[in-house]
C-alpha cells in the first residue's frame, strides 16, 4: 500500500508522504492499494487511475476480473460514489444502459444491484465505500496523452463523439457531470478497425439540478478543468453548458498536444486565476483542422452563452465533420446464445428421428 498525493502526484511506498510545498496536503493523502492486497473478498491486481475523489483498480472478485472503484475517505467522496452507483443501477434496471458508461455489478456474493448498488469494507480503521464494474480493457486517457500528446485527428474526433454522446446521455436524464477530464476516461483501441473505444468511468458530481448546490464539491475536479462559472459564482447553477466546457477543453487539449492550462506543481489558487484570466495555450490547429479547432474554441469559451447549449449539440457538430464512429466488426460466427439454440434444436431433431426409427423398427418386429 502506498500514499499518493492528489495534487502533486508524489508517491510514498511506506505511507509516509511529505511535501515541502505549503499548499500541498501530502500528509493527508489517501492510501492506494497494491498488487495482491485485499479489500474484503476483492483481490487487487493493480491501480489504474487515482482521481481526487476515488481510485480505480483492476481486481478479482469471485473469480471474475472486474473494475473496482473505491472512494477516498471523506463524506463528499463517499456520497458522490453512492450517487454514481445508484444512477448506474437505476438505468440498468430500466434496461437503458449506455455503451460508454460502466456496467454495475453486485458488490457482494449472493446479492443483486437492486438491493446493493455499492459496498462497504473496513481497511486500516477506515470504512471504505466501493462499487464494482464489469471489466473493460483500457488505460486512462491522461496516460495515453502523456505518451502520445497528439493523436491522429480521426481518432480525436471519434473519441470525442463517444465522450460527448456519454455526456448527452447523462444530460438526457436531467443529470450533471461538472468534472469531464481526460483522467475520467478509459481508452482502448480496437486493433482490427483502428478505432478508439472509451469508457467514462467517473461520472463527476452526478447530480440533478435541484440538489446541485449541495452536491457540488470543488476539490473533486481539477482546477484546470473547472468551468469559470463554477469558480466565480457564489451559487452553483444547473447548466448543461458547464459540461460542454469540459468536453471542449478535452478536445482543445488533444488538438494542441498539452493541457490548455498548466497545472502541475501549481497550487489550486494559481490555476484558478489562470483559468479566470484565460491564460491558456494558444490554439495552433486552425490552419490544418480549422472546423474542429473552432468546435473546441466555441465549446470551451469563457462565457457560457457563447458555448453549445448542451452535449447533444457538440455531438452533432462532430458527427457532421467526422461521420459516425466505425462499429465493432461482427464475427462470422453466430453469437454463443444463438449457437446454443441451434445446437439444442439439432439435438431435439436427432432425438425425434431416433425415437421415430426405434418405433418403426418396433412396429416391423
Which residue has 498488487 as its cell numbers?
Answer: 35
For residue 122, what are the β-bridge partners?
Answer: 127
Q: What is the C-alpha separation between 286 and 269, in angstroms, rounded?
A: 31
Confidence (pLDDT) at 332: 42
Report DSSP letters for 231-268, one per residue: HH-SS----HHHHHHHHHHHHHHHHHTS-SS--TTS-H
pTM of the full structure: 0.85
Full DSSP string of 74-118: SHHHHHHHHHHHHHHHHHHHTT---TTSPPEE-SSTT--TTT-SS
- Burial (CB < 10 A; 0-12, 13-18, 19+), residue 248, is buried
Query: What does DSSP assign to residue 289?
Result: S
**Digits of tens for pLDDT over the chain (365 positions)?**
666 666 556 665 655 555 656 555 544 567 899 999 999 999 999 999 999 999 999 999 999 999 999 999 999 999 999 999 999 999 999 999 999 999 999 999 999 999 999 999 998 888 999 999 999 999 999 999 999 999 999 999 999 999 999 999 999 999 999 999 999 999 999 989 999 999 999 999 999 999 999 999 999 999 999 999 999 988 899 999 999 999 999 999 999 999 999 998 889 999 999 999 999 999 999 999 999 999 999 999 999 999 999 999 999 999 999 999 998 655 444 444 544 555 466 566 666 666 665 666 555 55
Instruction: Enter the C-alpha cell of residue 290.
Output: 480549422
Instruction: Compute, in degrees rounded to 10, the torsion defined by CA atoms 243, 244, 249, 252.
Output: 160
Residue 129 to residue 133: CA distance in whole angstroms? 14
As a whole number of angstroms, the distance between CA 4 and CA 11 comes to: 4
271 three-state secondary structure:
helix
Amino acid at each position: 500500500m502506498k500514499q499518493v498525493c492528489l495534487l502533486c502526484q508524489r508517491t510514498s511506498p511506506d505511507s509516509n508522504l511529505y511535501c515541502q510545498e505549503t499548499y500541498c496536503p501530502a500528509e493527508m493523502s489517501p492510501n492506494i492499494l497494491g498488487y495482491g492486497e485485499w479489500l474484503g473478498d476483492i483481490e487487487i491486481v493493480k491501480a489504474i487511475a487515482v482521481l481526487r475523489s476515488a481510485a480505480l483498480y483492476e481486481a478479482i472478485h469471485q473469480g471474475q476480473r472486474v473494475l473496482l472503484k473505491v472512494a477516498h475517505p471523506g463524506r463528499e467522496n463517499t456520497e458522490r460514489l453512492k450517487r454514481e452507483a445508484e444512477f448506474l443501477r437505476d438505468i440498468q434496471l430500466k434496461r437503458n444502459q449506455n455503451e460508454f458508461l460502466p456496467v454495475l455489478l453486485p458488490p457482494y456474493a449472493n446479492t443483486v444491484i437492486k438491493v446493493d448498488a455499492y459496498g462497504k469494507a473496513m481497511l486500516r480503521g477506515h470504512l471504505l465505500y466501493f462499487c464494482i464494474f464489469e471489466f473493460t480493457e483500457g488505460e486512462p486517457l491522461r496516460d495515453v496523452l502523456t505518451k502520445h500528446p497528439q493523436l491522429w485527428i480521426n481518432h480525436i474526433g471519434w473519441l470525442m463523439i463517444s465522450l460527448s454522446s456519454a455526456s448527452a446521455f447523462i444530460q438526457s436524464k436531467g443529470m450533471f457531470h461538472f468534472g469531464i477530464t481526460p483522467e475520467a476516461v478509459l481508452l482502448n483501441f480496437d486493433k482490427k478497425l483502428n478505432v478508439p473505444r472509451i469508457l467514462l468511468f467517473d461520472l463527476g458530481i452526478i447530480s440533478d439540478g435541484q440538489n446541485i448546490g449541495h452536491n457540488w464539491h470543488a476539490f473533486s475536479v481539477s482546477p484546470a478543468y473547472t468551468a469559470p462559472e463554477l469558480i466565480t459564482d457564489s451559487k452553483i447553477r444547473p447548466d448543461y453548458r458547464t459540461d460542454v466546457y469540459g468536453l471542449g477543453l478535452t478536445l482543445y487539449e488533444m488538438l494542441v498536444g498539452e493541457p490548455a492550462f498548466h497545472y502541475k506543481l501549481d497550487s489550486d489558487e494559481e490555476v484558478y486565476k489562470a483559468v479566470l484570466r484565460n491564460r491558456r495555450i494558444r490554439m495552433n490547429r486552425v490552419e490544418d483542422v480549422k472546423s474542429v479547432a473552432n468546435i473546441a474554441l466555441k465549446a470551451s469559451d469563457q462565457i457560457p452563452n457563447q458555448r453549445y447549449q448542451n452535449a447533444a449539440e457538440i455531438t452533432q457538430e462532430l458527427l457532421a465533420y467526422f461521420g459516425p464512429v466505425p462499429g465493432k466488426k461482427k464475427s462470422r460466427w453466430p453469437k454463443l446464445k444463438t449457437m446454443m439454440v441451434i445446437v439444442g434444436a439439432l439435438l431435439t431433431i436427432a432425438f425425434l428421428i431416433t425415437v421415430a426409427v426405434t418405433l418403426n423398427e418396433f412396429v416391423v418386429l
